Amino acid sequence: METKDHLTLSALNHRIRKTFEAEFPHPLWVVAEISEIKINASGHCYLELIEKKPDSDLPVAKARAAIWAYTFRMLKPYFETTAGRPLAPGLKVLVQVNVTFHEVYGYTLTIKDIDPVYTVGEMALKRKEIIERLQKEGILTMNKHLPFPLVPQKIAIISSGTAAGYQDFIHQISNNPWGYFFNLTLFPAIMQGSEAEDTLIEALEKIYEKEEDFDVVVIIRGGGSQADLSSFDNYRLAEHIAQFPLPVLTGIGHEKDETVTDLVAYTNLKTPTAVAEFILDRVRNFEEEVTGTAGMIFQTAKQQLSTHDNNLRHFVYEINSLIQNRLSGHVRKLDGIKQKLFYISRKTLQEKKHQLSGYIYNLEQEAGKCLGWHHQKTGLLTLEMPRLVKQYFTVRKHQLTILGQSLSYLDPVNVLSRGYSITRFRGHALKRSKDVSPGEILNTKLFKGEIKSKIIK
């Protein structure tokens, strides 16, 4: 109802409605970002659309929008199939809307159509911006440059405990044909939807607190539509994975596209089973390298032992030959010494005999003189002389016998026969124990035969 002074609210809203209908008679294509989205039991989809400043998250415009059930049933599968992801908060869309104003419900945009091609382009652009930002910050390939453990056995798993992919991973890695044991710890997370990003980051932070307890981190999920991968195409999650101090392996169950999460991980594989096989291959390769190295060491040691055995045999042969040559030389020297001693002994005996003859002659001369001067003692000297001479000769003969025996004792053959031996080390007679060390070889010549011995102490 209208008067000159005022309008009723319904009248005002009626005028606004007429103005809207006149101003926007046809549908319009509008670009906006989905801030909130709800689907009620009747199948209607209610959204809040916003526009943000280019360089911040501050909104500059907001509007309510709705997709009625009969329209939403057609748009939803078409959009998800083409765009590869569901309608969700944070998604930028190009929508065709009817601008309406209701006296009770106010301003509303009724969505008639959605262009998924625009969203695909926006997602690609956003993905490109995320990658460029990570690259500019120098963290895009940080995780890829981490050293991978030789034998990864302590594995932190981020997944949903009820997911088929998680069960596949556990079965594949635990029931391996080589009997390898792994310490597996699950950190539960929501793997799709609006809560996925926060729970994935929360799981990473829990693992970080126990970093020393793990070798690698595995992020896995079961199969699903391409639309479910949107949670893995965001900056926050990528930033955490790229800078994580442990290698991160992903197996989030997709065949075609590579998410930003896959891009920053140490390595990405198609399925959880493939992740398990990757880890098993690393352990198996290490075992084969160790086995191969052990075989090489064994063969090398065998060859070295064979070579040293041949060298030792040759060395022993050369030592024996050297010893024989040295012994032969010394035997010849001993024979020479023996002959020389015999010659000296004979010459000495002859000289002593001549001296004795001189003594006898002198004695006879002296005796004759004494007989002349000591006539009274002549009888006694005549009686005693034979005895004294005989005694003198006996003593001298005994001395000569002892001298001969002494010379005979000096004969090396006789010395050896009395139990003595000659010990040689490196061709020389050994005189002091400090000249040798444990483990060295000695050669001992006996009266009969030789002994080769090894020093223990």
Query: What pLDDT is recorded for position 324?
Result: 82
| DSSP SS3 for 403 | helix
Report if residue 283 sits inside a domain: no
Does any domain span residue 46?
A: yes
Q: Please check whether residues 407 and 325 belong to one and the same domain.
A: yes
Copy the structure tokens of residue 214.
């793990």
**Looking at the domain assignment, is residue 294 inside a domain?**
no
Domain membership flag for residue 406:
yes
Q: In the prediction, which pLDDT does 12 show? A: 85
How many whole angstroms separate alpha carbon 198 and alpha carbon 84?
22
Instruction: Note whether 54 and 78 are same-domain residues.
Output: yes
Averaged pLDDT in 10-residue chunks for the chain of 457 residues: 72 84 85 89 92 80 92 90 81 87 85 84 77 89 93 93 89 92 93 83 94 94 62 87 94 74 90 92 91 78 78 79 80 82 83 82 77 66 76 86 78 76 85 85 86 89
How much is the pLDDT for 377?
65
Instruction: Classify residue 334: in a domain, yes or no.
Output: yes
CATH of residue 237: 3.40.50
Strand 216-220 relative to strand 154-159, pairing: parallel
Cα 377 to Cα 369: distance, rounded to the nearest angstrom:
12
Domain contains 88: yes
Cα torsion 316, 319, 321, 327: sign: negative
Candidates 287, 285, 281, 252; CA nearest to 172 is: 281
What single string gives the DSSP state of each residue in 257-287? ---HHHHHSSEE-SSHHHHHHHHHHHHHHHH
Looking at the 3D structure of the chain, how many domains does it have?
Answer: 4
In terms of Cα–Cα distance, which of 241, 294, 287 is closest to 268? 241
In this structure, the answer to whether residues 126 and 18 fall within a common structural domain is: yes
Q: How far apart are CA 444 and CA 323, in angstroms?
A: 10
In a domain, 278, yes or no: no
Residues 6+ apart with CB under 8 A from 334: 411, 412, 413
Task: Please give the pLDDT value at position 24.
Answer: 84
CA-CA distances (angstroms) from residue 181 to 153, 176, 222, 249?
Answer: 7, 9, 23, 19
**How far apart are the C-alpha atoms of 444 and 446, rounded to whole Å?**
6
Q: Are 241 and 204 in contact (CB under 8 A)?
A: yes
Last residue of a domain, one of 253, 270, 287: 270
Look-up: residue for tokens 């109802």? Answer: 1
pLDDT attached to residue 343? 83
**Do 143 and 130 sit in the same domain of this protein?**
no
- Among 135, 158, 173, identify where a domain stops: 135
Q: What pTM did the predictor assign?
A: 0.51
Burial class (CB in 10 A: 0-12, 13-18, 19+), 307: exposed
Q: What is the pLDDT of residue 213?
A: 94
Q: Per DSSP, which regions of 103-209 are E strands? A: 106-114, 154-159, 183-188
For residue 250, CA distances in Å to 223, 261, 263, 266 come to 13, 8, 10, 8
CATH of the domain at 83: 2.40.50.140
Of 36, 302, 313, 260, nearest to 143 by C-alpha is: 260
Report yes or no: 33 and 47 within 8 Å, Cβ to Cβ: no
C-alpha closest to that of 284 among 176, 371, 384: 176
Burial of 380 (0-12, 13-18, 19+ CB in 10 A): exposed
Residues 190, 244: one domain?
yes
Per-residue exposure over 326-338, b if at least 16 CB sit within 10 Å of its own CB, e if not: eeeeeeeeeeeeb
146 in the same domain as 130: no
Residues 112 and 160 reside in one and the same domain: no
End-to-end CA distance of the chain: 127
Query: 369: domain range?
Result: 303-415
Task: Indicate if 408 and 444 belong to the same structural domain.
Answer: no
Instruction: Check whether residue 247 and residue 317 sit in a common domain.
Output: no
Q: Which two tokens stand for residue 191?
A: 């793997």
394 plus 439 within the same structural domain: no
What is the distance between the alpha carbons of residues 210 and 105, in angstroms, rounded to a whole number?
Answer: 53
Nearest to 146 by CA among 269, 242, 221, 213: 242
Residue type, 354: H
Place of tokens 């900056």: 235
Residue 152 is predicted with a pLDDT of 93
Give a yes or no: residue 1 inside a domain: no
Residues 131 and 80 in one domain: yes
| Cβ 290 vs Cβ 156: under 8 Å | no
Say yes or no: 224 and 327 in one domain: no
